[in-house]
């Protein structure tokens, strides 16, 4: 117990002293996960919108698969990306394995189904409201998609944050494709795993607190966005 | 009249042939043959469940009939025809944007932006231009929906009970805008089950009952001496089964 409270104290010292290693790890974590979120949104939101307004044979199985992919195990994604990026893999020549880019790719694959599936649900509801009016106005398909994405923007921000939350908290994928290399690919989750196994509890705890803080901040942002959405639902 | 259609023959004359709509074995519209002359203000009347709204949607091409066809000046209703028409729904469907952005949305579709303020001024909503459209009162929302439909410069304007839940002042405002649009050359097809409103607006009445066309009569004749028993009972305030 004494050891735990000492570690806790040291963790706070690390955080408040602005420890260089700690800052570097937090910075990389945010850079990787925010980039993954932006890329996944750029791909996933239009995909969700297209699925929301399209009716085609086999749509239901596609939606079932997409929903199932929301629960992709990070280690499996890590393994698949590893196989593609490793020297013997089809994309081995790019030399991306054990780089932040590889970690971003893995996280994009991990959260893309979340962004696409959740946005599909939101935009399908919105489209149900707009569809007849848009048909009457003969709105072109591309304009329908951009109108849905724009008018659903508040709800879609919560989707983006849900994706970010999933990306920043996962460890399985980044540790496989990033390799947890110090000063290069070490992020909060992989560092916590390493430091805990090494017995360096203060750094692990400090990172754990920051990760928790980020999780709280993301949740608070989601909640306040929902409130804003409620307030400006009229907009 | 629509600028889009200036080089095309006008759409205002309507003909339906054996128009029917059936879902799951139930006939909602049953074998309607109807011809409407151009440039009238036509009111479709009938009790709830008579098929008025479905009939309107068939005329606008929003739903596909199970049998029969809709011709506008001899042209079967399709995307190109629908682009030259507009519809106002019973519950206004406004985009989650500002009042002005709702008008701009359709002006952008037509590649025409500069008239937004004039349009809002005409309907008395210029002061609310930057306000969220959905924060307007229901009457104001419907006025905006009507102005948005007219901003597309339609040749034919369908209105599906647009004043069903509005206060008298809002009803009057809507009726004035519709009458003005009619005077400007837009063909109006207006669904209502408000007899007073039909008397105020209609030049001719199409009366539907249980999916059938009960009668199609000039307005004055219809209100003085309806030809069908269904319309007679309806005008007498008796419940129609």
Cβ count near B177 (within 10 Å): 20
Residue with tokens 């659903």: A152
**Could you tell me if residue B1 is inside a domain?**
no
The reported pLDDT for the residue numbered A50 is 97
pLDDT in tens, A113-157: 999 999 999 999 999 999 999 999 999 999 999 999 999 988 899
Residue among B83, B97, B109 minimizing CB distance to A235: B97
C-alpha radius of gyration, chain A, whole number: 21
- Identify the CATH assignment for A2-231 out of 3.20.20.60, 3.40.630.30, 1.10.3720.10, 3.40.50.11060: 1.10.3720.10
Residue contact A137–B132, C-beta within 8 A = no
Q: How far is B134 from chain A (nearest CA, A)?
A: 5
pLDDT in tens, B1-18: 444 445 677 877 899 999
Please provide the size of chain A in residues: 235
Mutation site, B96, B99, B109, interface A, largest A CB count within 10 A = B96
Number of domains in chain B: 2
Cβ–Cβ contact A142 with B under 8 A: no
Residue contact B82–A235, C-beta within 8 A = no
Q: For chain B, which ranges sit under pLDDT 50?
A: 1-5
- Residue B235 tokens read as 């005008």
Residues of A in contact with B95 (CB under 8 A): 130, 147, 151
**Could you tell me if residue B21 is inside a domain?**
yes
The reported pLDDT for the residue numbered B113 is 63
Same domain, B67 and B177: yes
Cβ count near B70 (within 10 Å): 23
**Could you tell me if residue B2 is inside a domain?**
no
Question: Cβ distance B48 to B235 under 8 Å?
Answer: no
Which segment of A30-34, A208-212, B182-186 scores lowest on mean pLDDT?
A: A208-212
Q: How far is B58 from chain A (nearest CA, A)?
A: 12
Same domain, B117 and B232: no
The reported pLDDT for the residue numbered B2 is 46
pLDDT in tens, B224-235: 999 999 999 999
Same domain, B63 and B162: yes
Question: Cβ distance A107 to A170 under 8 Å?
Answer: yes
This model of the complex carries an ipTM of: 0.91
Question: Cβ distance A102 to A178 under 8 Å?
Answer: yes
**Could you tell me if residue B7 is inside a domain?**
no
Reported as a pLDDT band with limits 50, 70 and 90, residue A230 is: low
Q: How far is A233 from chain B (nearest CA, A)?
A: 7
**Could you tell me if residue B6 is inside a domain?**
no
Using the predicted structure, report yes or no on whether residue A2 has a pLDDT greater than 70: no
The reported pTM is: 0.87
Looking at residue B98, the DSSP 8-state letter turns out to be B
Using the predicted structure, report yes or no on whether residue A40 has a pLDDT greater than 50: yes
- Domain span at residue B137? 94-153
The reported pLDDT for the residue numbered A226 is 73
């Amino acid at each position: 117990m004494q050891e735990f409270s000492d570690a806790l104290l040291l963790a706070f010292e690390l955080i408040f002293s602005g420890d260089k290693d700690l800052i570097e790890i937090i910075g990389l974590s945010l850079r990787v996960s925010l980039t993954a979120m932006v890329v996944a949104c750029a791909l996933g939101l239009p995909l969700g919108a297209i699925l929301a307004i399209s009716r085609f044979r086999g749509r239901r199985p596609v939606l079932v698969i997409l929903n199932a992919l929301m629960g992709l195990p990070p280690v499996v994604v890590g393994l698949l990306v590893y196989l593609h990026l490793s020297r013997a893999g089809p994309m081995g020549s790019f030399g991306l394995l054990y780089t932040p880019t590889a970690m971003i790719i893995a996280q994009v694959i991990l959260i893309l189904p979340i962004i696409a599936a959740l946005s599909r649900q939101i935009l399908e509801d919105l489209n149900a409201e707009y569809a007849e009016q848009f048909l009457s106005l003969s709105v072109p398909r591309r304009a329908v998609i951009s109108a849905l994405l724009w008018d659903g923007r508040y709800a879609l921000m919560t989707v983006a944050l849900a994706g970010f939350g999933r990306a920043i908290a996962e460890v399985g994928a980044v540790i496989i494709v990033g390799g947890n290399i110090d000063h290069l690919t070490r992020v909060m989750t992989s560092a916590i795993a390493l430091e805990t196994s090494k017995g360096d509890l203060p750094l692990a705890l400090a990172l754990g607190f920051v990760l928790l803080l980020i999780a709280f901040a993301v949740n608070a942002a989601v909640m306040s966005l929902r409130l804003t959405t409620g307030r400006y639902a009229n907009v | 009249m629509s600028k889009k259609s200036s080089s095309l023959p006008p759409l205002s004359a309507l003909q339906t042939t054996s128009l029917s709509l059936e879902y799951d074995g139930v006939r909602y519209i049953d074998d309607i043959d109807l011809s409407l002359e151009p440039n009238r203000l036509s009111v479709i009347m009938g009790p709830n469940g008579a098929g008025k709204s479905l009939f309107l949607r068939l005329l606008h091409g929003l739903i596909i009939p199970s049998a029969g066809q809709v011709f506008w000046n001899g042209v079967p209703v399709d995307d190109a025809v629908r682009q030259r028409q507009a519809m106002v729904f019973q519950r206004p469907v406004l985009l989650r944007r500002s009042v002005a952005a709702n008008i701009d949305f359709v002006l952008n579709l037509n590649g025409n932006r500069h008239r937004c303020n004039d349009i809002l001024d005409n309907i008395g909503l210029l002061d609310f231009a930057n306000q969220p459209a959905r924060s307007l009162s229901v009457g104001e929302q419907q006025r905006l929906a009507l102005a948005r439909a007219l901003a597309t410069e339609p040749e034919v304007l369908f209105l599906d009970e647009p004043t069903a839940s509005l206060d008298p002042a809002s009803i009057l405002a809507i009726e004035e805008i519709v009458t003005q649009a009619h005077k400007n050359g837009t063909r109006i097809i207006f669904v209502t089950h408000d007899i007073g409103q039909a008397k105020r607006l209609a030049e001719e009445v199409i009366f539907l009952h249980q999916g059938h066309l009960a009668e199609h009569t000039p307005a004055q004749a219809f209100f003085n001496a309806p030809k069908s028993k269904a319309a007679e009972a309806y005008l007498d305030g008796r419940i129609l089964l």
